[in-house]
């Protein structure tokens, strides 16, 4: 029987998909590279050709989750007839990726994983920023927002919200966390010159995400 030879990117995506499945079903700590190799029926040299370590493979899995989430958000935006403010809210409140991959993402919040967690938050911001910037541009055209640099503004807002409310990066006391969360609506509205009260939903959204 002849050996099946797959294209490089096809094989890489197959390894990521299998690792993602195992990390979610039996958790990252309980999954070995051998488990992944056995499930795919590939040699040790094959998997290590693509990923030098299990941590590197985890980073690829999380990037895959981020890209899937962005595709999901893009599809949501295409299916709704709404103004930019409603679209911005939809982007922030659609958390399907987090809910479906909680066992993988929870590993990043464990002590000792801050460096990897921070790196992947930065990746998420970089990949998501343009999607948010497009909505900000729409808001300017509609007269809802008033900003000059949509992409940089999106990066600034995402970085502030995602980093400063992430307990895996900053282990705030609950009072300190809530003080920051309660300040966000007014800060975002000032940055975007948005209608007063239009971002009050952030308080409940961010509070629930950090429970």
Q: Give every CB contact of residue 78 below 8 A, 6+ residues apart in sequence.
A: none
CA 116 to chain centre: 13
- Judged against a pLDDT cut of 80, whether residue 96 lies above it is answered with no
Residue 16 reports pLDDT greater than 90: yes
- Rounded-to-integer distance, Cα 167 and Cα 210, Å: 7
Q: Where are the domains of the chain?
A: 1-52, 54-209
124: pLDDT strictly greater than 50: yes
Residues 6+ apart with CB under 8 A from 124: 66, 158, 162
Q: Look at residue 208 in the predicted model and tell me its pLDDT.
A: 76
Q: What is the pLDDT of residue 207?
A: 84
pLDDT of 109 above 90: no
52 three-class SS: coil
1-52 and 54-209, same CATH topology: no
Helix (H) or strand (E) holding 194: none
Q: What angle do CA 127, 128, 131 make, to 5 degrees?
A: 120
Section 155-167 average pLDDT = 89
CATH class of 54-209: mainly alpha
- Please give the sequence-ordered ranges of beta strands (E in DSSP) within 90-178, or none if there are none: none
Fold of the 1-52 domain = Arc Repressor Mutant, subunit A (1.10.10)
Contact between 118 and 59 (Cβ < 8 Å): no
Q: Is the model's pLDDT at 18 over the cut of 90? A: yes
């Amino acid at each position: 029987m002849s050996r099946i030879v797959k294209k490089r990117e096809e094989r890489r995506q197959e390894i990521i998909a299998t690792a993602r499945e195992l990390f979610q079903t039996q958790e990252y700590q309980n999954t070995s590279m051998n488990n992944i190799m056995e499930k795919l029926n590939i040699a040790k040299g094959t998997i290590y050709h693509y990923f030098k370590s299990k941590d590197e493979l985890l980073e690829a899995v999380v990037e895959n989750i981020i890209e899937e989430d962005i595709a999901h958000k893009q599809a949501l935006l295409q299916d709704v007839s709404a103004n930019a403010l409603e679209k911005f809210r939809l982007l922030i409140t659609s958390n399907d990726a987090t809910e479906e991959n909680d066992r993988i993402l929870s590993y990043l919040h464990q002590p000792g994983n801050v460096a990897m967690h921070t790196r992947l938050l930065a990746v998420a911001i970089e990949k998501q920023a343009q999607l948010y910037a497009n909505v900000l541009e729409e808001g300017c055209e509609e007269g809802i927002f008033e900003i000059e640099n949509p992409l940089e503004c999106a990066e600034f807002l995402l970085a502030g919200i995602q980093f400063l409310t992430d307990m895996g990066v900053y282990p705030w006391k609950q009072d300190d966390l809530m003080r920051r969360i309660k300040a966000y609506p007014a800060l975002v509205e000032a940055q975007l010159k948005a209608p007063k009260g239009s971002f009050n939903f952030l308080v409940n959204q961010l509070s629930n995400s950090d429970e």
